[in-house]
Amino acid sequence: MDIKWSVLRSVRVLLALVFIVFWIGAMPTNAANYDESKIPRYVLPELLKDQDGTVIESAEQWERIRRPVILRDFQQRVYGEAPSDPESIRYRVDRVIQRALNGQATQKEIVISFSDRPDGPQMTVLLFVPAPGNQPAPAFLGLNFGGNHTIHSSPDISVTSSWVRNDEGAGIKDNRASSAHRGRAAGRWPVEQILQRGYALVTAYYGDIDPDFDDGFKNGVHSLYHAEKKPDRHEWGSISAWAWGMSRIMDYLEQDSDIDEARVAVIGHSRLGKTSLWAGARDRRFAMVISNNSGCGGAALSRRQFGETIGRINTSFPHWFCDNFSWYISREGLMPIDQHMLVALAAPRPIYVASATEDRWADPKGEFLAAREATPVYRLYGLEGIEAEELPEPDQSIGGHIGYHIRTGAHDLKLFDWERYLDFADRHFR
């Protein structure tokens, strides 16, 4: 009897010890690593080998066997599953200005209501179509951080009616969008240049879809689906909601005869770069994907743990992802996926990943490696990805159907980046 009890006690002590070791192992460390020599040894999960060992040898096998598994892993473990497409969504073309921006474009504002509820969430989509001549036009679709009126100083753009989060400060301030902020983000949106190159520009304020703070999923489109109950561990966080919102914009673009729906590129910077990658992965109507400085949870390989890590991002921005993602804090090596697989989900569509030299938090090298490591999937389609072994020199654009550059400078979306994306689109869209 005594022996039995002491054995039992030892087993319990042992179990408790195992649990404590596991728990400590899963705690995020705070200091970001910026030292290449301190990157843990890692092996990337294989793109072209299925769980049962089947080696993927053709584009057909990739699409039938491997791609669905990887897509599902990102959906269930990282970004979270979005609800199926809504039935009651409504579009209203609110305003059309024929000769906007000194005659350079037709401007439209479209209000998308996500439900039948008159007080339900709505998003206003701003669309500039280049002056007549080459309709239907190819388009860039990107969400903005501060309201449509911030992308250009034109007084004709409606001021967003949503609350805009003050992203610079801590917490949420009373920061209702105001006309004083017209054009504040114009540096990131070279509207005239985009139009002159023959492309339409489509944008909407990301907070119209889901406000960017951790409110327990009570507002934005989440409110329509989670009035009673928080999303489950595998259900959508904000990135997934923003990506889902981009698909709703695409639903509208398919109806607009000024836009060529077969040539719509999704683009995003930073958290919205993570979003454009996910939007492009889950919705193959997007014909091109562009990730600008998207970093952790975007194009950067998680296993490198350089700059921002899964631990840091889940601590600062838990609402961006599904709850399952936090299980991988300090357990990067246990993920069946890494971000090169997210890039590969775009195949065979052209995808462009860009970094900036000073943006170490986003791990430029990890972004480059993820872009390069997606190449084998492009090869299955007979397409060129990235052959370069090393990070290219700053300010040089490389690659075939996978494009890459590292711009000199800070975390930002600059004219230099846009010019590379426009060239890339010219190459693949024309």
CB of 369 to ligand GCU, least distance (A): 18
Closest CB to ligand GCU among residues 75, 270: 270
Cis peptide before 28 (omega within 30 of 0): no
- Using CB under 6 A as the binding rule, whether residue 296 contacts ligand GCU is answered as yes
- Using CB under 6 A as the binding rule, whether residue 359 contacts ligand GCU is answered as no
Please select the residue that binds ligand GCU; options are 308, 363, 373, 417, rule is CB under 6 A: 308
Please select the residue that binds ligand GCU; options are 160, 270, 292, 305, rule is CB under 6 A: 270
How far, in whole angstroms, is CA 339 from its chain's centroid? Answer: 12
- Using CB under 6 A as the binding rule, whether residue 277 contacts ligand GCU is answered as no
CB of 113 to ligand GCU, least distance (A): 27
Spatial separation of the C-alpha atoms in residues 199 and 415, rounded to whole Å: 15
Closest CB to ligand GCU among residues 67, 360: 360
- Using CB under 6 A as the binding rule, whether residue 243 contacts ligand GCU is answered as no
270 catalytic? Reply is: yes
Using DSSP's 3-state secondary structure scheme, residue 287 falls into: coil
Question: What is the secondary structure of 6-66 as a DSSP string?
Answer: HHHHHHHHHHHHHHHHHHHHTSPPSSPP--GGGPPP--PPPTTB-TTSPBP-SHHHIIIII
- Using CB under 6 A as the binding rule, whether residue 313 contacts ligand GCU is answered as yes
Q: List the catalytic residue out of 181, 226, 234, 411.
A: 411
Contact status, residue 413 vs residue 398, Cβ threshold 8 Å: no
Torsion of CA 108, 109, 112, 118, to 10 degrees: -140
Spatial separation of the C-alpha atoms in residues 176 and 416, rounded to whole Å: 31
Instruction: Cite the beta strand spans of 191-333 per DSSP E.
Output: 200-205, 259-269, 288-292
Q: List the catalytic residue out of 115, 270, 276, 291.
A: 270
- Using CB under 6 A as the binding rule, whether residue 295 contacts ligand GCU is answered as yes
Contact track, ligand GCU, 74-113, x by CB under 6 A: ----------------------------------------
- Using CB under 6 A as the binding rule, whether residue 271 contacts ligand GCU is answered as yes
Q: Which stretch binds ligand GCU (CB under 6 A): 26-34, 308-316, 395-403, 422-430?
A: 308-316
Kindly calculate the radius of gyration of the chain based on its CA atoms and give it in whole angstroms: 23
Contact status, residue 207 vs residue 163, Cβ threshold 8 Å: yes
Contact status, residue 375 vs residue 341, Cβ threshold 8 Å: no
Closest CB to ligand GCU among residues 270, 305: 270
Q: Binding-site residue total for ligand GCU (CB under 6 A)?
A: 8
CB of 361 to ligand GCU, least distance (A): 6
* Residue 93, strand partner residues: 110
Residues engaged in binding ligand GCU (CB under 6 A): 270-271, 295-296, 308, 313, 316, 361
Catalytically annotated residues: 270, 411
